[in-house]
Amino acid sequence: MVLTMHKTGFLLAAPSSGSGKTTLTLALLRILAQRGHSVQPFKCGPDYLDTWLHTIAASWGENSKKGINLDTWMASKQHVRDLFMRYSACADASIVEGVMGLFDGAEKSAGSSAEIAKLLHLPVIMVVNAKSMAYSAAPLLHGFRTFDPEVNLAGVIFNGVNTPSHYRHLENAALDAGVEPLGYVPRSDSMTIRERHLGLNISSEYDYDAMIDAMAEHVKKTVDISRLLDIARIDDFSWPSVPDAVQGGNKVIAVARDEAFNFVYQENLDVLQGYGTIVFFSPMDDAVLPEADFLYLSGGYPELYADKLSANSSMRASIADYCDKGGCAYAECGGMMYLGHSITLNDGSAYPMCGVLDFDTTMQDVKMTLGYRKVSLNGGYRGELRGHEFHYSQIKRVGELQNIASITNARDENTGSALYSQGNTLASYVHLYWGENRDFPGYLMGTHK
């Protein structure tokens, strides 16, 4: 079956990180949703925080679309294309937020926003921070437009522009560079999101809807939304109907989800749903672990809620009992920290955790660990897994735990990372993407010993 319809789709890119891609993406998602469009958000790369905010921004009225990661390093190009087709098929507009600079990839431009734009045949809208720039925007845009002729740089929006006279200089620069100017965004506190050490803030202290509404109101005053939709129109494009994940499994899967644990790829959850029923629970607020055949503890901010997690002794005991009795569990990054004996904060205070795994983690005197990872298990599961590692904590003491995997970076260099195994519990700092390794959860639930 093929659905043929007029659609809008574009990729929002920038010369570098910090140009304003995320805030502009959130504003555009909300503007289109408020206009009654069904709008599907995507994020290039492994970031799970931006997709979380995208989901909020795209939710308006009857429209409710999940933010989806598109990453040509963690998955094949065909998988990424299928994902885009499946999630865009029922949307009027698809907005893809790029990662870092347009051509920044794991190795040169491999895995970059430019690669994804070419793969999906999407026009690119550039976001340029022009706070301290005028006509010099012309050679900048000319270089990005001509560097790779297969990239369709269709328009530009200038950020950090406070006056119409400043914008006129930039407008002339864009026209001389052969890139259509679509407006500008004046500097404003409404376009700022406070950040945590791992990136964008996701605290419940924020009223995200109000924040995104303010962004949308600010942007639509000076950006030509109608023209943007015109030049990003996808005419006569065939959109194959891609089937959803296979359903019908009988497993009960307990997934941690609260302020402490929320770093998860939507496609991972979709794969899990094919194995049965997902039951969400809160390690902070619920008394005990729900009855389940599989436990998934994703990453998050356990260090920010260490006191509350530690104080919930009944939940800690319930999870320890589940794991000690042979329950199948997988924990990554923050979830792995929670399964250890303790977490030590920057001030030296230590908080007891579940005690399932014999190690302690600390936030003291640590440096950022960041990068793509290849994971090959030493036995049992034979496929190569891919994922991403991003944390500031470190393990300060390890007991008798078995590392069952070889983990390297994108350049095949050993990273020193581990995939720990104890009983039927596996844990690692690596956030694995198993959207294309759909059999991996089955391995976790029934074959490793």
Cite the active site residues.
Answer: 333
Burial class from Cβ neighbours inside 10 Å (0-12, 13-18, 19+) for residue 395 reads middle
Q: Which residues are paired to 253 by β-bridges? A: 278, 294
* 221-240 exposure pattern, b = at least 16 Cβ within 10 A, e = fewer: ebbbbeebbebbebeeeebe
User: Which residue's structure tokens are 């007991």?
Assistant: 399
Q: How many CA atoms lie within 13 A of 229 on its CB side?
A: 14
What is the Cα gyration radius of the chain?
Answer: 23
d(CA 40, CA 234): 15
434 and 271 Cβ atoms separated by less than 8 Å: yes
The closest alpha carbon to 220, from 182, 175, 179, belongs to: 182
**Torsion angles phi and psi, residue 288, rounded to 5:** -140, 160
Q: Amino acid identity, residue 347?
A: D
Classified as helix, coil or strand, 278 is: strand
Altogether, the residues listed in the chain come to a count of: 449
167 and 158 Cβ atoms separated by less than 8 Å: yes
* Structure token pair of residue 40: 């599907």
d(CA 398, CA 211): 43
Classified as helix, coil or strand, 438 is: coil
**Torsion angles phi and psi, residue 133, rounded to 5:** -145, 150
d(CA 33, CA 191): 18
User: Which residue's structure tokens are 């899990």?
Assistant: 272
Q: Which residues are paired to 300 by β-bridges? A: 261
Residues 6+ apart with CB under 8 A from 373: 386, 387, 388, 389, 407, 408, 409, 415, 417, 430
* Structure token pair of residue 163: 């006056």
